[in-house]
A and B are shown apart, each in its own frame.
Chain A
């Protein structure tokens, strides 16, 4: 078992070290302070059934219909590990560059009415995935400490004035969610600001979806984030007292909560005080965090290996098989477009829209990267865009950059290509699109000048806004088929005399 706790390679470690010295985005704190943020992301795994029970894993069912004696924790029932959940967890682990190891389920003991056994089956000192990393679009690398499997709790609704448990008249519990498989991804405290935190979660979400581990829906609670937040003097290595901020239900809340909480820490230090280690809850309406349990009041979870379960020991063959079946990850997909000549931003958008393969194929066939990605950004946010034939798409871009079509024409042809699947040349011919020769344009312009001599002399004297007037006239005459750039060139030539 010597290989089990083997850390990631030294190259990876040095990547972190180097990275931490790279200047980060501006945190919104006074310049002499720096944010230190680690995130715990819980994602519900996209399985058919629950983590340890044959009950259905499905969001939005009638309360207490997706239940079974096992996930209700009825006396005498026993958990059995869902193999699919393990597979999806390994998929994510590999996508996060983790070491996948023999792992043990442990019981986390505490009393809560939405937890049927009054303990949660989780993983403690032997998690499935350890020592990974996630590279952000910015190039920053965030270390992943672990990604372990556990079961979700049920959902309590406290019926009473505040909706909080302590003054509820009564509480209702829905156990549909109890036992739903979760993966908890714990990052190192490598995140330095609210924007980076949001970027990290967004990228993690993309990876979860890409590998099929989770649907990653914040709004359905299948993605949840807790933030461990502290601050320190900029450039220092120390780790100061942190607070765990819970109840963050969207990327926007995450950014706001981090901003608020770090500022609170700075204010405390500046006032000669210090924060206490505690759990704090984000109050979305109030735009602030509120104190929960402090460390002194913290529960002792009395973790111990769950004697009802045996260790999960994925074979190297199985891990390799899963690795082979992984899709190309968002980061590599973006990188491929950037390497082919796209900008980072355009590449990210293409991947987001799942049009990167199309764009890449078109670019491989000689389409201009900038034009190609511009179409993806501006003209292809439509149904059916993915079905475009890459060769046709490449041909269209080439027609356009070669002057055979104006931008406006190209847009129209593209729309029809998505609808009909026809080739761009055919569509252009059918529509009578042919890029106008400069001589044709010049003739048109001469006619317009003759009809508006006053405007023309004012334009020639420097009244630049009249450029729009003449452009508009030409466009009107050509029903929008003229190339704007050509017109501008022509106007400049003629007015210069």
Chain B
């Protein structure tokens, strides 16, 4: 299979048509989508029309974008004009946005071809894509297992070869964890690097859109296309995007890499599979062999990350999801005796159990008299984590940890919500701090399933993060690329 960079080059040069590229991906979708269920919708017709338009542009000698003819799958929580955007919820089953998300506009301008909307845990709440109202997504590497979540559909789409690239959203690890479980590259940018306009909110202060890809170079390419200031998102950073592609192969000679002790099973946090920890150490050793300085570093407050996250994210979600009341759009349950009863019935019928659980948790956390004890305290933990990470970054350029404490687990194995939440232990600190982090596949763990190594970087440290990720990728392939 070709990389996105190769496809774009071939299409731009007229060596290959976007249409023929698209058809090869659509036929792979035809072959395996029934057993994977990566998509809520495959938009083949729209994709064919876009591909034909790209081909016409190339034929006419026009300049085409950096993703010319590259198929891209979109997590189904990003708004697409006239195409259902469901968040894998009954609530939005038939909702067709009248506008495009900023990332969708940027993909179109770059010449990408959207092939479909991918499955997710309902409203991005989950770590296995089992919470979708439209059925589970299966891990392409072992269809009895979950792909991770919540961007499980986007991870599975790239892993199954349904598209060379996809976009996910990451609130507590929802890009990186499924990337790890599906053996692909997944990156969460710095908070504010990519516009959230048109991303249906789960937890506004944590959500970021980011790329899935088979290679680190493709990840950097897609990041370069979607990143940059957007006046429609007040939290968007008004700075130029660093040229992460230019520094990709700079090598790690002289870089200081810290392994976070608390996320290596050396503290109170439990549940790390030994093979997973072994692969992280292997990756660290490979970086050392490539010239980096590697040492362990303690980031003490990371152990409170999960608790803080499960105050902040549900609190914001309880407010963000209030608008789904059956009045203006989305699911409306008929027969309510008055507006309040209609709203209640619609929300009861429209939301799944995990969404309801988090709305209740969040409503409680924000209640009068509890705010300081819960939401307020969680925000203070957030500050602690930022401070602790800042201390670590005084001595290290990047940090390393597992992405997920375990490899892909069987569908239905983690029915207890708390057990499921523990999956996000390693990924949550980056969301709370607003820092970038990437998951790169590095070898395998139990049952020959892929392990993801996470590279964390300070705010807007995408360039060095990608350089290190690229070095890990090189080491994982035995130096071949």
Contacts and interface: CB of A to CB of B under 8 A. Distances in A.
B376 to A, nearest CB: 9
Contacts of B92: 75
Contacts of B8: none
Nearest to B231: A80
A109 B316 CA distance: 11
Interface in B298-341: 315-316, 318-319, 322-323, 325, 327-329, 338-340
B98 interface: yes
Contact of A74 (B77, B99, B204, B368): B99
Contacts of B325: 111, 113, 118
A308 B205 CA distance: 7
A116 B322 contact: no
Contacts of A107: 319
Contacts, number: 100
Interface residues of B, number: 45
A322 interface: no
Contacts of A65: none
Contacts of B95: 75
Interface stretch (A299-307, A374-382, A453-461): A299-307
Given A109-B322, A165-B339, A300-B368, A76 B201 contact: yes
Given A118-B325, A171-B339, A79 B234 contact: yes
Given A75-B97, A76-B101, A118-B325, A307 B199 contact: no
Contacts of A307: 203-205, 235, 316
A310 interface: yes
**Would you call the interface of chain B mostly helix, strand, loop, or mixed?**
loop
B266 to A, nearest CB: 33
A221 interface: no
B11 interface: no
Nearest to B369: A300
B315 A304 contact: yes
Nearest to A304: B366
B196 interface: yes
A49 to B, nearest CB: 14
A77 interface: yes
A109 B319 contact: yes
B461 interface: no
**Would you call the interface of chain A mostly helix, strand, loop, or mixed?**
loop
Contacts of A166: 338
A309 interface: yes
Nearest to A114: B327
A73 B339 contact: no
A113 B367 contact: no
B363 interface: yes
Nearest to A74: B97
B114 interface: no
Contacts of B414: none
A173 interface: yes
Q: Which of A81, A300, A307 has the most CB of B within 10 A?
A: A307
Given A69-B98, A116-B328, A302-B319, A76 B234 contact: no
Contact of A78 (B233, B316, B322): B233
A491 to B, nearest CB: 78
B329 A76 contact: no
Contacts of A72: 328
Interface string B231-242: 111110000000
Given A304-B366, A308-B204, A74 B319 contact: no
B323 A309 contact: no
Contacts of B198: 76-77
Contacts of A80: 231-234
B226 interface: no
A410 B78 CA distance: 75
Interface string A199-212: 00000000000000
B319 A173 contact: no
A302 B77 CA distance: 26
30 contacts: A72-B328, A74-B99, A74-B329, A75-B92, A75-B97, A76-B79, A76-B197, A76-B199, A76-B201, A77-B99, A77-B198, A78-B234, A109-B366, A111-B325, A113-B327, A116-B328, A117-B322, A118-B323, A119-B322, A166-B338, A171-B339, A173-B327, A302-B319, A302-B367, A302-B368, A304-B319, A304-B375, A307-B205, A307-B316, A308-B235
3 closest pairs, A vs B, by CB? A118-B322, A307-B205, A302-B366
